[in-house]
Chain A
Amino acid sequence: MPEVPSPLARRPAGRCLTAKVALLAALAGLAVPAAFAQSPAAAPVPAQAPASPPAAAAPAAPVDEQVQSLKSDVLDLNRDLFVLEQELLYPANTQVAVFVSMDAGTFFALDSVQLKIDGKEVADYLYTPREVHALVQGGVHRLYVGNLKVGKHELVAFLTGKGPHDLDYTRGATLDFQKDIGAKYLELTITDDQRKLQPQFRVKDWE
């Protein structure tokens, strides 16, 4: 098998995400009461203390700032965890990613893409009209990210959709590529061949 599972690759990503969400919820849940506990506004006010409105309103701002700061910390932590998770699941030296882009789309209405690497199906994605519209507008879809060992590999992509004259259309695009140390990025591009009035499919290797 050409794929090299990283130590964490066997673990479902959903578990990590669930744990992250739980952790962040716990942090957020703990952080807010802690902020209130530290705040003078939350402390019991002696009965004799004069209730002057400006003095009572003043401590509210720091508490709010503290909550905002804690929220910001939680967001930063979430971002760091996401980056760390991606680095662990797909280390730079084995990572391979395949993107899909569409240049015009006049002669082809994309329905789905099936991706095989070294004969093994790694992705089968169904596109909705909204996603196709995003691609036509210049969007790029990351269809697959995984791990491959160094060496020669073959990528085959089968694209289905509606071709010219609204006919069912299935075409394949193949690329033999060399995976070196370092991340490998491949792009599946769908363009219009104005000369032949046909869609054109190519797999580009981002050197």
Chain B
Amino acid sequence: MPEQRQRSPRRLRALTAALAIVWTLPAPAARFHATPGLAAPDFALRAFTGPNVRLSEHIGQVVVISFWGVGCDACRGQLAALEQDFSRYQAQGLRVYAVEVADDQAGAQHFARGTHVTFPLLLDPAKSVARLYDVDNLPMTVLIDRDGKIRQVVRDFNETSRRACEDELRTLLAE
């Protein structure tokens, strides 16, 4: 038997122990809670216009994901604020994606055509990404750092949250 195929007893014991640990570990919770510090779960979605988007392709950039719906008035203000951030910080590596989670697809398409946002608006018809990020309020904004970790989750839109969000964005872009 070639030398590299031989496994020392120590390594075999370690392998056995590792397998035992894997086997006895409890199953993770079925739902992922968008928690700061955790790696942002990857997803791929179609855009209203433009190419498909996969989150994991943006490692090294600061990513903002905003979940919104047509019937949500605060979402319009949120998207307008994000458009300002996007135009200001795009050159520094900021990427913004707005994920539409409402059931009104036709309304969303109409809104998308009429809106002046320049960042991609993504479709989530199966609500798989909304479930993945445990969206329980609209608008909900997730800030992801250059390492792909969630840094802040904002479940509202008002002046205070807007300022906090912008401060955090500046910090992330400076890292």
Cα separation A16 to B20 with both chains bound (whole Å): 11
**Chain B residues with a Cβ closer than 8 Å to the other chain, count:** 19
Residues of A within 8 A of B22 (CB): 15-16, 19-20
Residues of B within 8 A of A73 (CB): 11
Residues of B within 8 A of A131 (CB): 54
In the bound complex, do residue B18 and residue A111 qualify as a contact, i.e. CB atoms below 8 Å apart? no
In the bound complex, do residue B28 and residue A14 qualify as a contact, i.e. CB atoms below 8 Å apart? yes
Residues of A within 8 A of B91 (CB): none
Most buried by A among B7, B46, B52: B52
State the majority secondary structure of interface residues on A. Answer: helix
Interface of chain A residues 81 through 97 with chain B (CB within 8 A): 81, 84
B15 within 8 A of A: yes
**CB 8 Å contact bits of B25-64 with A (1 = contact, 0 = none):** 1011000000000000000111000011110010000000
**CB 8 Å contact bits of A113-154 with B (1 = contact, 0 = none):** 000000000000111111100000000000000000000000
Cα separation A16 to B25 with both chains bound (whole Å): 9
Interface of chain A residues 1 through 17 with chain B (CB within 8 A): 11-12, 14-16
In the bound complex, do residue A12 and residue B27 qualify as a contact, i.e. CB atoms below 8 Å apart? yes
In the bound complex, do residue A126 and residue B46 qualify as a contact, i.e. CB atoms below 8 Å apart? yes
A52 within 8 A of B: no
In the bound complex, do residue A15 and residue B52 qualify as a contact, i.e. CB atoms below 8 Å apart? no
A18 within 8 A of B: yes
Residues of A within 8 A of B52 (CB): 111-112, 126-129
Give chain A nearest CB distance to B131 CB in angstroms. 15
B164 within 8 A of A: no
Q: 12 additional contacts, CB 8 Å, given A111-B52, A128-B57?
A: A12-B28, A14-B28, A18-B25, A18-B28, A73-B11, A77-B11, A77-B14, A80-B7, A84-B15, A84-B19, A111-B46, A131-B54
